[in-house]
Copies of this chain bind each other. A is one copy, B any other.
Amino acid sequence: MLKMLLLKSLSGEKIERFPVWLMRQAGRYMPQYRELRAKEKDFLSFCKNVELAVKVSLLPLELLDVDAVIIFSDILVPLEPMGINVRFEEGEGPHLEWDGNVKALRKITSKDTEFINEIIREVKRTQDRVPVIGFCGAPWTLFAYAVEGKGKADFKRAKLFMWERREEYLEFLGLLSENLVEYLKGQVKAGADLVQVFDSWLMHMPYEDLKEYAILLKAFFERLKRELGVPVIYFYRGSGEYLKLLRHVPVDAFSVDWTVDMFSWMEKEDMAFQGNMDPSILYCTEDVIQRKVLEFLKRVPRKTKYVFNLGHGLSPDMELKKVKLLVDTVKGYKVG
């Protein structure tokens, strides 16, 4: 029964404890990850090496005993077959090259990234204890990456594109939506038990522009709901006020960061949540980590659909021992 704990929590069934997994749970903070990572110089080649990606995906299950495995990959993967050049410089993050021509961007099918599906099949074949999470980036975040060309950006270019080349902006987001549906369909067909859509850069979108984007997202998630048949989690970074617009988007849970007044939303709306806790607590001493996690969990109202996670991914300078303590503390807390 443990296998389905995360899915039970999302569907509102009675649970004994909250399920827990962490974004970037397989990452540089783990010595075992760094060891595997050293086997491929280039990051994208590492992602495409099915054997290594499977091993890495499974590390958090072995080392942390989390309640879900998320496949190891990168949100930029589907941009490559669309015709955008993606490369990773060591220690610098992604560099993207795109000529700005939306018309030339390609429609993709899940066959274009077959290695992703192979990773999922293999992860499913290797273990059946916990659900496997497939994922993709959200249209805005991928659009912004393509236009900005890098990870550390001021979003000036992305905003200018959105404001001055409105038709092309909408066309790009429309194509991304279609491609991401195909991409996720492939993942579900390969065995993903649920999917998460990452809008890591939503906090840079002005509220006024979010009004239009939220409508587009609604259509995107309606289509996912119709075509995937598995739960969908929408992760975004940014304001709790954005939920006024996003709450109409049909997802199974909103994964939010620490700036969001999640407990109030839980009290007043029938919405399911994931995350919310500030990842920086992992820099605290062990007793503070335990105390803050327990205080946090006590505040989740009864009957609320909730999945424990942090508001953002783990960082390379975090300690595996403390991450394990965090997971164990969540698992040790009994839902009243």
Contact = CB atoms under 8 A, between A and B. Distances in A.
Given A155-B280, A240-B241, A259 B203 contact: yes
Contacts of A284: 160, 163-164
Given A155-B280, A207-B259, A258-B207, A288 B241 contact: no
Interface residues of A, number: 31
A96 B242 CA distance: 35
A137 interface: no
A112 B227 CA distance: 67
Interface string A158-175: 011001100000000000
Interface in A270-284: 278, 280-281, 283-284
- Dominant secondary structure of chain A at its interface with chain B: helix
B259 A238 contact: yes
A208 B262 CA distance: 10
Contacts of A203: 259
B207 A280 contact: no
A166 to B, nearest CB: 10
Given A207-B261, A278-B206, A288 B163 contact: yes
A334 interface: no
Contacts of A239: 238-241, 259-260
Nearest to A287: B164
Interface in A195-244: 203, 205-208, 238-242, 244
Contacts of A242: 259
20 contacts: A156-B280, A156-B283, A159-B278, A159-B283, A160-B284, A205-B259, A206-B258, A206-B259, A206-B278, A207-B260, A207-B262, A208-B258, A238-B259, A239-B239, A239-B241, A239-B259, A239-B260, A240-B241, A241-B260, A244-B264
Given A159-B278, A164-B284, A203-B259, 14 more contacts: A155-B280, A156-B283, A163-B292, A205-B259, A207-B258, A207-B261, A238-B259, A239-B240, A239-B260, A240-B240, A241-B241, A241-B261, A244-B261, A244-B264
